[in-house]
Structure 1
């Protein structure tokens, strides 16, 4: 049996990079909200310009958005860590067709659930993220070999050599008539 994915130093570095990104979002949101609240008191009491309230409300909303994104990233990071500590990496070939991905597992890799596989041994998935730069980073590995760590709920954690980050993948439900990779 292969050791858990967490035993590899590259995995821990990729996890640290993912977690740092989430912490940056969270810290940025916290700073934004704090600065907006401090500026609101300053604008009203010292400058006597309550018209700045619109900009301050916008800053609070953006700060809250950063807090929510950061908190979500930290929750996903903890989930990824549990998956990586439990299961080994599996090798697969990444196929891309529009917003969907197909993972074709190597013959020597442990098989995924038979319900998720078609005749060619592929699993159809989509990225958890919609961030353009993260999608481009994954699509850059088109037709290349990637490493996957399966979760118990059918989702996957993806990385590749040189990617230095982690990406979450969700399985697609079977919907007849929809274009699939």
Structure 2
């Protein structure tokens, strides 16, 4: 039986890391001010706000995939794109890799492609739906980006198999 819904398996760990880093900064700043005797309510509120801002910046969006849909949910915004009716897929390479998917309804979602690399079930669902978009003739731009991502996932999979079998 095919699984109908899948999400990023490492999101919870990344959320815990964001909380930990923000808390570490908060305690370090409070400890420093307390040690120097300069801690007051204003500075405490400022350090709390700074740690909260760091948490918001570090918290990755929660990505989930179901047949025909890919959704991202941040703290305030939820975006969904129809993956079986894609119009374009763009991949921006660099320090912070980004993949932007746009559908026939004008909706778009921006994701980190490494989420798909580390979640084969998500990639499989997206790949099946992207092939549907190609067959329907809606995917006008982005087949190269999808092929490059597929090749990257294949390389990562082969590397993991070799590593697990001791042939690395």
Q: Normalized per residue, which structure has more helix?
A: 2
Which TM-score band (shorter chain)?
0.3 to 0.5
**TM, length-normalised to structure 1:** 0.36
TM-score by length of 2: 0.38
